[in-house]
Amino acid sequence: MALPSLQQPRNNALSKVSIFRRLTPPTTLIPSWACSTKPNNTLSPVSSKFPSFLRCSTKPDTSANSETQHNEPNSISNFQNDPEPDSSSEAFSSPQPSQKPPPCSSSRGLVFDLGPSNSWDGADVGSPVVKRFLSDEEERWYMWYHGRAKGHPSCDLIGLAISSNGVHWERGGGPARSSSDVGFVMSCGKDWWGFDTGGIRPSEMVIMSSSRVRASSAVYWLYYTGYGSERSLPGLAISQDGRHWARIEGEHHSGALIDVGGEKEWDSLFISSPQVVYHGNGDLRMYYHSFDVEKGHFGVGIARSRDGIRWVKLGKIMGGGKAGSFDEFGAMNACVIRNRKGGNYVMVYEGVAADGRRSIGVAVSPDGLKEWLRLQDEAVLKPSELGCWDDKDVGSPCLVEMDTEGNEWRLYYRGVGNGGRFGIGMAVSEGRDIGRFRRWTGFHV
């Protein structure tokens, strides 16, 4: 399948990058793993165009915009590969209920706060991947998310929390030790040559069965972002219970599913947030983001696969918005779902403004391929007013389509406060209108 040609750079691309550089910290734009002190020929074109972007600190990331950068390799062992967790796991507390936010307006929308101070997710949480399962007996919610412990500033792990209503969550302070436990379930790869030795974050969970993995029943397919010393790449792991994972090696020599593009291609720096949609038998679509050096903005691209393992890129489908808009400097961390009632595709994404502020926007497409249109010029969810827990940035959206009256869509997101607070929030739509969301304030009878 021939790849479509990429659009030519806009004339104002360099000026836009120059403005962005003045208004935001350098590491906000280019991830810290693109700032390696080692010689790297693939980054030399960037260095010559934007030398100040590469003057990045190698210290652990403590900024609010950590979705677009990553830290140095972590030192926490890979518990899920050990029959019995080693003694270092005792530094984390035993499973505890989710902390309830204080009853004040400043916590409006917050449904999942940081864990206890001695837990694996006591310093940071984000990247929510939320799935709702219904049966004749019960309603069950699962949320995979990334977390980081205090004292381990460079280590992101993937954890699992469960809920009966999608609002009140049961979490674990340490590793999930059984098929019914909660806590962290996956850590970085141990192979020195692997692409995910520096950190991992979940992107999407697809429930399916495949002869490739010799499973007689449906299995969980976790698509995730793996971070290494130079860049991020997408990976895949499978599980039969959502807690114990086996990595599936992709065609890239590092074990990743796909590699970055060539020197002149829009995704030559990194590939992040591989969100996968099952369109039909033999047709899976992966949506991911990168940074387009020539145009000076983040963009979302698409790839297709027949088996969910081998992928063919089709090109970029979303870039920067209008001048002065909430997403002028691009779109990232996209979540795409197929509208059960409308049949079209809906994308919620993290928009980056000229000052680096993050908000959430919506785009729609009739077939989920190239014809994506922004639903409106305004963001559907912006940071809260000053003093609230998420008054700096909102992003990493995850959209869930409901089947109840008056609460048709739920939007889970990562919130960041000006004081450095992190959490996972939830907003709900006004009926079927995906252009209007309000932060959750409680169940209404």
Helix or strand holding residue 211 (H, E) = none
Query: 413 lies in a domain?
Result: yes
User: In whole angstroms, how large is the CA radius of gyration of the chain?
Assistant: 20
DSSP states of 391-402 as a string? SSEEEEEEEEE-
CA atoms within 13 A on the CB side of 59: 4
Question: What's the CATH number where 290 sits?
Answer: 2.115.10.20
Q: How far apart are CA 161 and CA 112, in angstroms?
A: 10
* pLDDT in the model for residue 207: 87
- When divided into structural domains, the chain yields a total of 1
CB atoms within 10 A of CB 249: 15
User: Three-class SS string for 171-208?
Assistant: CCCCECCCCCCCEEEECCCCCCCCCCCCEEEEEEEEEE
Q: Which two tokens stand for residue 74?
A: 């972590």
Residue 445 lies in a domain: no
Instruction: Count each helix (H run) and each strand (E run) in the chain, helices first.
Output: 3, 22
| pLDDT higher than threshold 80 for residue 387 | yes
Question: Phi and psi for 273 in degrees, rounded to 5?
Answer: 55, 60
How far is the C-alpha of 390 from the C-alpha of 277, rounded, in Å? 29
For residue range 99-122, list pLDDT tens digits in order.
Answer: 444 444 688 999 999 999 999 999
Upper half-sphere CA count for residue 437 (Cβ side, 13 Å): 30
Q: Where are the beta strands (DSSP E) in 94-198?
A: 110-112, 124-134, 139-148, 157-163, 169-170, 183-186
User: Cα separation of 417 and 357, whole Å?
Assistant: 12
Domain with 270, as residue range(s), is 13-439
At residue 111, the 3 state secondary structure works out as strand
Q: Is 444 part of a structural domain of the chain? A: no
Q: pLDDT tens for residues 407-435? A: 689 999 999 999 889 999 999 998 888 89
- Give the pLDDT score at 407: 64
DSSP-derived secondary structure for 408-423: -EEEEEEEE-TTS-EE
Q: What are 220-265's pLDDT values in tens digits?
A: 999 999 999 889 999 999 999 999 999 999 999 999 999 999 999 9
* CA proximity to 128, closest of 411, 443, 416: 411
Burial of 138 (0-12, 13-18, 19+ CB in 10 A): exposed
* Mean of per-residue pLDDT scores for the chain: 79
Q: Are 173 and 92 in contact (CB under 8 A)?
A: yes
3-state secondary structure of 330: strand
Q: Which residues of 71-98 are buried (b: 16+ CB within 10 A; e: fewer)?
A: bbebebbebbeeeebeeebeebbebbeb
Q: Which residue has the tokens 């995910």?
A: 196
For residue 166, pLDDT beyond 50: yes
pLDDT at 404: 73
Q: Does residue 359 sit within a domain?
A: yes
Is there a domain that residue 418 lies in? yes
| pLDDT for 58 beyond 50 | no
Is residue 3 domain-resident?
A: no
**Residue 66's pLDDT is what?**
42
216 pLDDT band, cuts 50/70/90, is: very low
Q: Are 434 and 346 in contact (CB under 8 A)?
A: yes
Q: Are 121 and 149 in contact (CB under 8 A)?
A: yes
Is 361 contained in some domain?
yes
239 and 309 in contact (C-beta within 8 Å)?
A: no
Which pLDDT belongs to residue 217?
Answer: 60
**Residue 50: enclosing H or E segment and its boundaries?**
none
Residue 25 burial by CB count (10 A; 0-12/13-18/19+): exposed, middle or buried?
A: middle
Q: Is residue 57 part of a domain?
A: yes
